[in-house]
Structures are given as structure tokens and as C-alpha cells.
A and B are shown apart, each in its own frame.
Chain A
């Protein structure tokens, strides 16, 4: 799963994007790991994450299968972290997303101290991850670099769209919907935060960063570069 590796953007654009991933390895340490995964996410809660997720069940903002028609005027955009944590029933990849470097560094410290025995990865800029490691007084074990996208030049959408839609690395957030959301914000039909929530519901593993998305949507709607 390279779902966070190929997020599009330059290093500066990742200043508010830190994803911590805890993953059990099948057959090696996935036995009885559910309480550890839950502990990982519960620890994250005290550092103010912007999203939590479980690869099997999704993130903290999910679509409803029986929506009340009145929701068109009063949509519930509250993040439900508790449902993510309690929903973990089997070994899975779980993630905690932060939009602040200090929070991320403090969480890194807490994770190292907790010593859960699960693999923990940080997905962000290379410098951002090094800073977290330094704060937690730990050396990197391995690193997986993104070399970005190779395209023949006519298949990928604009940078504005890619920066937002690649925040679901599984490709569940379509470029068309992202374009539509930028346009709606441009027309004043929705706020950037509301637009980010619509996109967030399509992320099936909870690694979408609504805070960064809101910033990028607002920026794209203004036509800023």
C-alpha cells in the first residue's frame, strides 16, 4: 500500500501533513494486535489529530447509508474518532493524521515510549520525518522515497487538483469531484472546510488530511499558486 507515499506537492506544502501509520506484519506480529492498534489511536487522540483511520473501515468522517433529507441543510461534519477506535476488530493498518509539526513530534515521542512492538511509519516530507525522529531520540530504520509520477504528459490533471486528490492514495477521491469542490468554493456555494469534508468521506482508510485539503482548496479557489 503506497497510499500516502505519492502525495503530490513540494516539501513546503507538507508542513501541515504528518501521517503516522501502525501496521502489523502478517504471520509475524499480527496475533492479538487489535488492543495495540487501539492503544496507538487512543494515544494519538491526546495530541489533537485531524483524522484517524482503519484501512478496513475508514476514517473519522464516513458516509451515511440512510441519510435524513434534512441533512442537506444541516450536515453533520463532526469527526467520530471513537467509532474508528472501537471499530477495529481484526489486524489492519491504522493511521493518525496531524496538521502540526509540534503535535507530530510529541506523538512520535509517545509512540516510542509506548513500545507497542508494531511497525510505525511516518509519512511526510523527509525533513519532517527526520525532525520527528530527532524529537523522539530514535534513528530511522528504513525509508521509502517517492519518485513521483511518470506521465506521458497528457493524462494527469493540474497541480491544484493533484495536491488534493492524491491525499487519498487509493485513488478514491476523483479529480472531477475535486474540481467541482474548488469551483463551488470559488462560487461561494460552500466553504473550504465543507468542501474538504465531502472529499474526506470518500477516503476509505482515514489518511485524508482535511486541514491541508481545506487550505489547498481555498488557495486553488483564489487562483493562488
Chain B
């Protein structure tokens, strides 16, 4: 993302809307500038702010008059008065930032928008997590901190050492040069993204080990981690395996995403051989 200096009037509205705090007003040029290293290309500034198309010279003049008179105009806080934001053409590896940060862009690896994962949300269709298993999502960087892929790799290495397999249809896995060891491609390691989610599936009895490992790695990296644990319920709709393990580990289970089990794959025509047998 770029801010056109010919249009920017330094109103400062955009400095508040950036989730990474990467925009500030340059005191010398009196224009909003983006810290390119901290910007994660989430497009919150471009997509989230409304735009006016006012004349920049006129707006600067009015602002200067108001400033001299110490009068405060009270404009809408989510508007760029001169439509100064201009998306630039992202090339590899910087394009990784947008793929992991702008939720409107579907991940190429999964085709899913948002963070690119389906987790247990489609478990009724995919059957990915069975009874006695746990699907664990370890998300880095959110809310409002961000993460370098290098830090994600620290966790991936530890998980791989613990013998855990990574979900194949996952954007982070798709960036790995060696899935067995959890190694991420060298050329993207310094890229900063708003959020990256590592997905794994383990047996329920491994949940404790993974959570302890996550806690250990958290202390080594400079970002926020949020963990989700998915479980298949039994025929009565109860989770009698994973939930009790989490409670025993001292987790205060408050919020959850509950799959109602209404999904099903689209019926495909039965093969002729099957029909004949029937």
C-alpha cells in the first residue's frame, strides 16, 4: 500500500485505523507515511475507510486556517478526504503479506477466504476430526500484533520434532519447503503478516503435550498466540473426551464454535457396478 503525497493532507485519520500502527504523520514532510517493514498489506486502510475526493490544496488551506484559529473541525474519523491510498503491485515474497492479512483475498492453497482454514466448521462434511481426536489451531499475531514467518517456523519445528503432522490444506503448510521438519521457505521468513494459523490433528491424549509445547514456544517468540481445539461430539452431542482433558488442564472453556452437523457432501451418482450389486 502507498499513500500519494500529492493527495495526502495529513488529517491523521488513517493513523488510527491501521491495525499494525504502521502509519504516522511525518513531521518534516507533513504527510502520512507507511512504515513498509511493519505494514502487513491488510488493506484495512484502503478497504475500511470511506473516501472523499476533495481538492488537496483546498483542504490543506482550510486545515491551516482552522489550525491558526485553534478551531477543531470534527470530521468523520473513518474517512480519507482525498482518496490518497493507492494499492501497489505486490510481488513475491511481499505478496505473502497480503495473502495472510487481507481476509478478502482467498488463500490460493485452500481457496478459503479469511484466514484460509476450515477447521471443524466443515467437519460434518469432511470428517477430518473423528471421535478421540483433536484438531488444534495455533494462531499467531492476532489481535493487533502481527508475526514474522520466522517466528511461526519456531513453532512448526517444535511441532515436527514432537512427531505431529501438519494439515495439508492450510496456508502455512503450503509455504513449507519441508513439511516433515516444519521448515518454511527461506525467502518468506522475514515477511510480517497479520495472522497465520498452523493446523494439526492429534490424538486426544496428545493434547496436553501440544499445549505444554505451545506454552514453551510462546516464551521464545515476540507475538501473541491464540489456540483453538476442535473435537468431534458423540451421538448424544456431547464431547466427553477432549473438553474434560482441557478442563483438567485448567482451561476455562467459555466460547466455542459449534457445528450443528447439517452439512453433507453433494450426492454423486453411484457407480454402475454398485447399482448392479444392489
**CB within 8 Å of B: which residues of A?**
1-7, 9-11, 14, 21, 23-26, 28-29, 31, 55-58, 63-69, 71-72, 75, 92-93, 108, 111-112, 115-126, 129-130, 132-133, 136, 138-152, 155-157, 162, 165-166, 169-177, 180-181, 184, 189, 198, 201-202, 204-205
Contact = CB atoms under 8 A, between A and B. Distances in A.
Give the 4 A-B CB pairs with smallest separation, nearest first. A141-B261, A139-B237, A1-B114, A119-B263
Interface string B23-65: 0000000000000000000101001111111100000000000
Given A23-B121, A117-B262, A145 B256 contact: yes
Nearest to A71: B76
15 contacts: A1-B115, A1-B116, A9-B254, A14-B255, A69-B54, A117-B262, A126-B258, A138-B262, A139-B236, A142-B231, A143-B257, A147-B227, A174-B17, A174-B21, A205-B103
B125 interface: yes
Contacts of B21: 174, 176
B254 A10 contact: yes
A133 B18 contact: no
Interface in B112-146: 112-126, 129, 135, 137, 139, 141-145
Interface string B1-25: 0000000000000011111010000
Instruction: Report the contact-size class of chain B (Cβ under 8 Å from the partner).
Output: 35 or more
Nearest to A27: B111
A198 B49 CA distance: 9
B123 A142 contact: yes
A201 B228 contact: no
Contacts of A150: 214-215, 218, 224-227
A67 B51 contact: yes
B110 interface: yes
Contacts of B239: 140, 143
B194 interface: yes
B109 to A, nearest CB: 11
A143 B111 contact: no
Contact of A6 (B76, B142, B215, B246): B142
Nearest to A199: B78
Q: Which of A10, A142, A155, A176 has the most CB of B within 10 A?
A: A142
A176 B219 CA distance: 26
B264 A117 contact: yes
Given A121-B257, A147-B227, 5 more contacts: A2-B119, A5-B228, A29-B263, A144-B119, A150-B214
A155 B224 CA distance: 7
B197 interface: yes
B268 to A, nearest CB: 10
Contact of B75 (A1, A72, A142): A72
Given A26-B110, A93-B113, A144-B228, A121 B121 contact: yes
A143 B121 CA distance: 8
Interface of A is mostly: loop
B271 interface: no
Given A55-B113, A141-B123, A150-B215, A204 B142 contact: no
A144 B125 contact: no
A66 B51 contact: yes
A140 B260 contact: yes
A143 B246 CA distance: 13
A67 B252 CA distance: 45
Contacts of A10: 254
Contacts of B232: 141-142
Interface string B230-268: 111101111100110010000111111111111111100
Given A147-B226, A150-B215, A112 B126 contact: no
Given A141-B124, A156-B224, A66 B53 contact: yes
B229 A145 contact: yes
A112 B260 contact: yes
Contacts of A2: 115, 117, 119, 137, 139, 197, 226, 228
Contacts of A198: 76-78
Contact of B17 (A129, A171, A202): A202
Contacts of B185: none
Contacts of B144: 156-157, 165, 171, 174-175
Contacts of B112: 1, 26, 93
A179 to B, nearest CB: 8
